[in-house]
Structure 1
Amino acid sequence: MKVIVQKFGGTSMATGDSRREVIKKISQVKKDGCQVVVVVSAMGRTGDPYATDTLVDLVRKTNSGLNKRDLDLIMSCGEIISGVVLVAELERAGFPAVCLTGPQAGIVTDGNHGNARVLEVDPHEVQKFLQEGRIVVVTGFQGKDADGLVTTLGRGGSDTTAAALGVSLGAEVVEIYTDVDGVKTADPRMVGDARTLERVTYNELCQLAHEGAKVIHPRAVEIAMQKGIPLRVRNTFTDNPGTLVAAGDTNYENSTKIRDNLITGITYISNISQIRVPLVKEEDMALSVFTVMAKEGISVDFIYVSPKEVIFTVSDDAVDMAVDTLEAIGLKPVLRKDCAKVAAVGAAMTGVPGVMAKIVTALTESGIQIIQSSDSYTSIWCLVDRTDLQEAVRALHRQFNLHEGVHREAG
């Protein structure tokens, strides 16, 4: 029998009304004759009584320095509450169901508490309950390490749980339910005519997610891509088909339309700062820069290295530590605050001349200075002033006609 994995986020689980929509989505899959594994996040967002951040605040008000091992225990509670409540409602609706924690579902991770990575999944318990005809509800965002201690998977960890279970069970598809209709060509809060994409490749969605799109965690996409398990990003509260995520050579359910857009979407990361470090005398000075950043656990991005200087960006919440750390080893960093990173993403750009020219034209005509740029096979990034961020996103969206949804017919 086919297995479908469905993941429901915090807004989908927040209220009785929203959970009734969740049950409708689950019941439809059951009516289609499939077995269902449901992965749930904690109910609601910060401030809601059972949200993860709310539970963590209970502890941090008493002791902000609690060790990560114990913090993981309370961070895993929100999903357990959510899972048991959903099982109770499914049973009341006439659907036999059972709740399993991440560890009970066989999710084994490394020991990096607070941001653990999934090492393997033993789906034996999940399969046992599926064979009994039950809906299996699994608490997302959590697993266990080699010593049996509870670990959590970091922000977006429930997406990772769903993808890992989908791979281990050989699922037909992993459906990621949220409160938007799918993957958009841009943030609809910035671009009013942003479209929902019918389909994207794994690589494109990974890039969009890494560069700021919040619709799914990039680690989940990477896990699904390993075994070619399709993902579908959908809205809990509508019947829209959402966005299908699969390999570039997939026939997309026999569609006769071939996407012919050069760029798939525009995304961004705000609240970052650029650091320039002049290099003098020592040949290994560049190595020293990145060594001390790694030692302090500071993530660096947008890296440029030349014989005379090193340039990179860090998040605003890490910038003071980064500057202090560099000055402590005798370097003189030059800081530029209040920056943002805008990215144009699209698998079709590979090998196509003129893409950067279009980007420079769009930003220049909008009066936006490009502070720094870089590229890969599927992305081009530009660093701009944060005050220019919204207009930069809009300008690039217009330049590549992403509001139009260009297609051509096959055959």
Structure 2
Amino acid sequence: MKVTAEIRALIERRQAGYSLEAPFYLSEEIFALDMETIFRQHWIEVATEAEIPEPGDYVTVDLAGDSILIVRDDDMQVRAFHNVCRHRGARLCNEDKGSVGNIVCPYHSWTYNLTGALMFAEHMGEQFDRCKHSLKNVHVENLAGLIFVCLAEEPPADFADMRAEMEPYLLPHDLAGCKVAAQVDIIEKGNWKLVMENNRECYHCVANHPELTISLYEYGFGYARTDANAEGMDAFERTCNERAKQWEAMDLPSVEIEKLLDVTGFRTQRLPLDRCGESQTLDAKVASKKLLGEFRTADLGGLSFWTQPNSWHHFMSDHIVSFSVIPLSAGETLVRTRWLVHKDAREGIDYDVENLTAVWNATNNQDRTLVEYSQRGAASSAYEPGPYSPYTEGLVEKFSAWYIGRLARQIGA
């Protein structure tokens, strides 16, 4: 897309260590650039393998103006297609999720198998070549049960690097052996970047997240050492070192990996939970009695995994919480949260949904309010970029630097 001189100037003059200028949060023109440059060119996390456990199970997701159909085929492979019939373009699957034997267009009954091949098209004549009218593929990758798609003709090749680094961390939690116990979608009236910036720091956590900070160590997410927090940081680091030795002995990696400025940027770390915690719940105890994978002990801390540009995840011994951010407009963003438990865990016996979801339902609603405050503030004539804290907001700066870097590369700045 054509980039105006005004937008080019905004990108080129971005000041490191400061929040973005208001148009990055408000402008529909910049939103369109975000969709073209970020959400159509990068690997976007959109679903979990647990949502499509059987052949024919599917989910759909709207991304950057396109509907994507994600389905499991008869060989148990995850496939992704543009959710568009090759006849006259009708939407094929019109529900968020479901199960099919074949993919049948509701308009004229063109029928595709689960690999996307056109199997049946009535009244098309003897010269019609079905092989030239298969569904259009979308690039898809399954990372230890997290499903990513890329709309680009040539997707970033460094997904393989993330896979190599992350599979040892994620696979022990056996997301593929989970089921979705709950899913909650909320619409935040704020720009997607404000949602992600809010997630990338815990400066606001103590004052705003009483439920989350029951189990979450404040110092675990982006804090730098200062004279004021040295004692607390020392105690936290001693706890981390002690637990890391235990986890490494169990073949559970814990050391931080931070590659947030890579094209396919990501970060991970396994950290202890507070109050001798086992899980992110209101009492810091497991929410599900049925532990994941082959775990035999509950106090395995919390493994956090962040990806640029749109997801974060928390892996614990008993459940996983997975978050996807999907931009809707310059001022609206879908935040989708899924809680996953062992596929054999029994609701009402092994886990209670209200207890399972309490912490992050509360936290998501609190964060929605904060994002909406920020969106309204950015619309004020008094708004100007403010400085990030060098002690608590370094990871926000890395998100903003990654974002501006991707735009700058697109426009050749």
- Fold shared by both chains (TM-score > 0.5): no
TM-score by length of 1: 0.24
